[in-house]
Amino acid sequence: MTIVIDDAGSGDLLFGVVIGAYRPETSEFKYGVVSVRFFQRPNFHRKKYLKQASEVVFELLKELKLESKEPVLICQGYIFDETVEALKQETDSEIQKVRVTGEPQRLTETAYLDEIRNLGYNPIKEREEKRGKSFFHMLRWLKETPERLKYAKTGWPALSKYKVPRPLVTLKKRSKHNS
């Protein structure tokens, strides 16, 4: 048996990251979430999302009852760099970084899309093919209602050049001090 680990949402502006675990032989699929707060200050700059990704992966492997020496194929994305090292140290499984495609990718992506729809956001159909268009679509959605900023990966340094509004809570606190 084998377990395939993938992520979805790490390059998107909204929500955290969905991490999916799939066992092809039984079609079992589980997923967990790295909360968006790990992509906001001060957690983002401390790269706490990397440790959290590891914790999510270990929990998923526990839920799927990782067997001794069972191979784990894990997405080659940066978010799993610490995870791969931890898995090599703490399991007797063969850990291999791969480009994930097919069913595990589809299931993980679907879980991410469901999560962002739960926020009230309706993603564009061609979001994977048109990453820039998707980013600006998400950004416009955030700008429509500044309270939504709590759903955004605001730790990204490049985000400041897009004049993202501060959350309403921050604006209210500020005006109280100025009164």
3-class DSSP assignment, residue 103: helix
- The reply to whether 124 falls in a domain is no
Same domain as 63, residue 95 = yes
CATH number at residue 7: 3.30.420
Regarding whether 106 and 44 lie in a shared domain, the answer is: yes
Instruction: State the total domains in the chain.
Output: 2
**pTM to 2 decimals?**
0.88
> Residue 99 domain-assigned?
yes
Q: What is the dihedral of CA 118, 49, 109, 75, to 10 degrees?
A: -170
pLDDT recorded at residue 33: 98
Q: Does 145 lie in the same domain as 58?
A: no
Higher pLDDT among residues 175 and 137, named by residue = 137
Query: 66 pLDDT exceeds 60?
Result: yes
The domain containing residue 93 runs over which residues? 3-118
Q: pLDDT-based confidence at 74, cuts 50/70/90? A: very high
**pLDDT tens-digit series, residues 121-148:** 999 887 766 767 888 999 999 988 888 9
**91 three-class SS:** coil
Q: What is the Cα–Cα distance from 118 to 64, expressed in whole angstroms?
A: 26
Same domain, 135 and 110: no
Residue 115: both structure tokens together: 């999560």
Mean pLDDT across 39-56: 95
Shared domain for 53 and 90, answered yes or no, is: yes
